[in-house]
Amino acid sequence: MAEPQQQPEDDAQRIETARDSLLVERVLRGDADAYGELVARHMRRAFSIAWRILEHREDAEDVVQDAFLRALERMDRLDPKRPFRPWFYRIVMNQALNFRRSRRVRATQPMHDDLAATTLSPERDAENTLLRGRLRTALAQLPERQRTIVQLADLEGLNSNEIAEMLELSAGTVRWHLHQARHALRELLQLPGEVR
């Protein structure tokens, strides 16, 4: 039953990948408009990935900018046969992790400032804070790799092949980690088993 839905998704992704490849080709020739389009296509997802690691809006914005510049520097090294998206998100993730490491060393930036800055009612706000706290505690108990994979898959909507490209793992290994992470989170959050 899942097949008919999977096929159009795959086709759409192939079209997106082909479009990215064309833009990359133009960027390699110094085409500023192509670069602008590439940025527009990927900056939201890039911000989201960076924010999940940093939980700070401005830091995440800076990381996105740095990641796009780093990608431009390294674009010659991108294998034309490989898709741009996972390659670029890997750069975003590495930049964000490096940023977080340096921030820990400096220890000057407050963490989670965006999480506190909500404008909901006090009851709803308290409920959300509780939810976030529960989830963060549960996520923190996962091994780093499983935490990253479950965030990329279930929050960013990347498929296992893309995550595999990003993390340089096999797709099977990604699916296995994803399964383990979900299982662990369900237990930690005391949620019912997987819905099939």
Partner 1 sequence: MNRKLDAYDNGESPHDALRHDDPLGNELHGASQPPMDDVDWMALHARIRRAAEPALAARAQALAETARPLAGIAASSNVWQPLAGWSPFGIPLAAAATVILMIGAARVGTEPVRRSDTGSFRTIEEEFVIGLGGNAAPLVAGIGSEDMLDAVLFYDGEDWQP
| Chain residues that interact with partner 1, rule: CB under 8 A | 2, 27-32, 35-36, 39-40, 43-44, 47-48, 51-52, 57, 60-61, 64-65, 68-69, 72-73, 114, 117, 128, 131-132, 134-136, 150, 153-155, 157, 159-160, 170-173, 175-176, 178-179, 182, 185-186, 189, 191-192, 194-195
Phi, psi of 189 (to 5 degrees): -90, 0
* C-alpha 189 chain-centroid distance: 22
Considering beta carbons, is residue 103 or 176 the nearer one to partner 1?
A: 176
Neighbours of 157 (CB within 10 A): 10
Structural Rg of the chain based on CA atoms: 18
CB of 195 to partner 1, least distance (A): 5
Considering beta carbons, is residue 105 or 119 the nearer one to partner 1?
A: 119
CB of 21 to partner 1, least distance (A): 17
Considering beta carbons, is residue 29 or 106 the nearer one to partner 1?
A: 29
Distance CA(131)–CA(65), nearest Å, equals: 31
Distance CA(64)–CA(165), nearest Å, equals: 19
CB of 75 to partner 1, least distance (A): 9
CB of 4 to partner 1, least distance (A): 15
Considering beta carbons, is residue 87 or 162 the nearer one to partner 1?
A: 162
Q: Is the torsion defined by CA of 48, 53, 56, 58 positive or negative?
A: negative
Distance CA(166)–CA(90), nearest Å, equals: 5
